[in-house]
Amino acid sequence: MGWETEYLVQEMLDEARTKIRRLEREIKDLSAERVALQENERTLTCVYCGHQYPPGTPESNHHLLTQHIAECEKHPMSKLKKENEKLGKIILDLNEKLHEKNLELDALHWVWCDGGCGGGVHRYDHGELTEEIVRMVEGHAKRLRRWWTNKTYTQQSRDYPFLAHIREAIRILKTTKRKLL
Same-domain check for residues 163 and 133: yes
Q: What percent of the chain has pLDDT over 90?
A: 10
Same-domain check for residues 132 and 173: yes
**What number is the average pLDDT over the span 3-24?**
85
pLDDT at 78: 83
The last residue of a domain, from among 44, 74, 104: 74
pLDDT at 123: 57
Domain count, the chain: 2
Same-domain check for residues 100 and 172: yes
Same-domain check for residues 63 and 101: no
pLDDT at 117: 61
Q: What are phi and psi of 95, to 5 degrees?
A: -65, -40
**What number is the average pLDDT over the span 68-94?**
89
Residue-wise pLDDT for 140-170, tens only, equals: 888 888 888 887 767 766 666 666 667 777 7
Residue-wise pLDDT for 56-70, tens only, equals: 777 776 777 778 888
Residue 45 β-bridge partners: 52
- If one counts every other C-beta atom within 10 angstroms of the C-beta of residue 75, the result is 18
Please report whether residue 79 resides in a domain. no
Please report whether residue 146 resides in a domain. yes
Same-domain check for residues 15 and 47: yes
Please report whether residue 59 resides in a domain. yes
Same-domain check for residues 108 and 166: yes
Residue 180 has pLDDT above 70, yes or no: no
How much is the mean pLDDT over the chain? Answer: 78
Same-domain check for residues 60 and 21: yes
Q: What percent of the chain has pLDDT over 70?
A: 73
pLDDT at 90: 95
pLDDT at 114: 61
**What number is the average pLDDT over the span 21-32?**
87
pLDDT at 93: 94
Of the candidates 83, 79, 61, which has an alpha carbon nearest to the alpha carbon of residue 71? Answer: 79
- Would you call 39 helix, strand, or coil by DSSP? coil
Residue 118 has pLDDT above 60, yes or no: no
pLDDT at 75: 87
Look up the domain containing 43 and give its range.
Answer: 3-74
Same-domain check for residues 166 and 102: yes
Please report whether residue 90 resides in a domain. no
Same-domain check for residues 129 and 161: yes
Residue 14 has pLDDT above 70, yes or no: yes
Please report whether residue 87 resides in a domain. no
Please report whether residue 86 resides in a domain. no
Please report whether residue 89 resides in a domain. no
Please report whether residue 85 resides in a domain. no
Distance CA 144, CA 152 (A): 12
pLDDT at 47: 81
pLDDT at 147: 84
Cβ-in-10-Å burial (0-12, 13-18, 19+) of 44 comes to: buried
Sign of CA dihedral 131, 137, 140, 142: negative
Q: Within 13 Å and on the Cβ side, how many CA atoms surround 141? A: 10
